Amino acid sequence: MKMDSIIDAPIKIRKGEELDILQLETFLKDEIKGLSGPITVKQFPSGFSNLTYQITANDRELILRRPPFGTKARSAHDMAREFNILKALYSVFPYCPKPYIYSQDKSIIGSSFYVMEKLSGIILRKNLPDGLAFTPEQAKTLSRSYLDIQHQLHSIDYKSIGLEDFGKPTGYIKRQVEGWSKRYRNAKTDDAPDFEDVMTWLDKKQPSDCEKPGIIHNDYKLDNVVLDTENPTKIIGVLDWEMATIGDPLMDLGSSMAYWIQESDSAELLAIRTLPTHIKGFLTREELVERYLKKSGLKIDSFNFYLVFGMFRLAGIAQQIYYRYFHGQTKDKRFAMLIFAVQILEKEAKKIMLKT
C-alpha cells in the first residue's frame, strides 16, 4: 500500500485565506526553539470551521490554526481556549498533539492563532481513499477504538489537571438547548427550515444533569481522529479541540452520533454523510451507545433526546457556516450545499421525535 496516497495532504492556500509569511516566519523563529531555514505554508482543504495550515521549515512540520475569515460566531473560534485545553491534556491524554505557542497579536496574520506539532497519519473523509480498505472485522475494531477513546477522555479527572473552571457542568443541557436555539435563529436565512418544532421538543424533553460530568470534545467524529499509517485501525491522535469544555458526556456522544451515518439510514441521510461509517463492519449508532453505557455505567431510558440534540446542533453548525456564504462573507463554494444538509437534518430529527 502506498501510504503517501492516503495521508491527508495540504495543498496551495485558497484565494483570500493567505497568511503574511514574512511576519509569521519572524515570529515563529523568535518563539519556537530550533526552528530554522525559510518556511513554506500550505493549507488543508477539508473542514468547514477553523482554518488549518501546514508550516514547513527544513524537515520540521508544524500546524497552525486560526479562525475563518468573515467569522460570524466568534465565540466558537476561541484560539486561546483551544490552545489551553491542549496544554492541560497533553500530559494525561496520549492522543493530543503537543501545543507550542499561542498569539493574539493580529498584526502577524490578521487574527489570533496557535501552533502545534503535526501528527502524521491517515484522516478519513467521505469515502475511503484509494489504496485503503477495511475488512468488516477491521471496521468493527476501529469503531470500538473510536468509542473507547471518547469514553477515556470523558473519564479524565479534569480537576486534577487544572480544568475545574473550564466549564460549568451544572445546567449544561439547559444552556446547550437554549444556546443552540438562539444561535440557529440568529443564523437563519430565508431558505432555511425554522426548526421551531425541534427546539420546542428539546426544551420540553430535557433530562437531568449527568451524574458524571467530564471533559467533552464537542466535535468528536471520525475525521477528527488520526489513524496509524501502519495499522489504520489504530487511532494515534484527536484533533480540533475548539469547542471542548466540561459538560455532559451523553451530549457529546449525541453530537458524535449525529455524524455517524449508517448503512440502514435514509437515502437523504446517506447523501449528506461526510464519513465512511456506512461501510460493512462499522458498528451502528445503537451498538456504539450500548457499548458506551456499559463502559460508563450511566443509566438512561432512551438516547433519543441526545441524538435529536446532536442532529439539531449539527444543523446549527452547518447553518452558521452557510450564513457566511449566503451573506458573501466567504466565497468557498463548498458552503453552498450546506443548506440541503440543514433541511435533511430537520426531517431526520422529527422522525426520531415521533418515536419518543
- Give the C-alpha separation, 322 to 328, whole Å: 10
| 3 state SS of 249 | helix
List the grid coordinates of 336.
453552498
Q: Which residue has 467569522 as its cell numbers? A: 71
- List, for residues 330-356, the tens digit of each pLDDT value: 888 889 999 999 999 999 999 999 987
Q: Are 103 and 65 within one domain?
A: yes
Q: Are 178 and 40 within one domain?
A: no
Instruction: Provide the pLDDT for residue 73.
Output: 45
CB 241 within 8 A of CB 86: yes
pLDDT score of 190 more than 70: yes
Q: Are 70 and 176 within one domain?
A: no
List the grid coordinates of 99.
501545543
- Give the C-alpha separation, 94 to 107, whole Å: 34
Q: Are 140 and 94 within one domain?
A: no
Q: Are 156 and 225 within one domain?
A: yes
Q: Are 76 and 183 within one domain?
A: no
Q: Are 307 and 186 within one domain?
A: yes
Q: Which residue has 451507545 as its cell numbers? A: 289
Q: Is residue 130 part of a domain?
A: no
Going by the DSSP 8-state scheme, the letter that residue 205 receives in this structure is S
Residue 290 burial (CB count, 10 A): 13
Q: What's the CATH code of the domain at 13?
A: 3.30.200.20
Q: Is residue 131 part of a domain?
A: no
How confident is the prediction for the chain on average, in pLDDT? 93
Q: Are 99 and 151 within one domain?
A: no
pLDDT score of 71 more than 70: no
- List, for residues 99-139, the tens digit of each pLDDT value: 999 999 999 999 999 999 999 999 999 999 998 999 999 99
- Give the C-alpha separation, 136 to 204, whole Å: 40
Instruction: Quickly list H helices, 2-78.
Output: 21-31
Q: Are 32 and 175 within one domain?
A: no
Q: Are 200 and 149 within one domain?
A: yes
Instruction: Provide the pLDDT for residue 2.
Output: 46
Count of structural domains, the chain: 2
Instruction: Quickly list H helices, 272-337.
Output: 285-296, 304-326
Helix (H) or strand (E) holding 143: helix 136-154
Q: Are 143 and 109 within one domain?
A: no
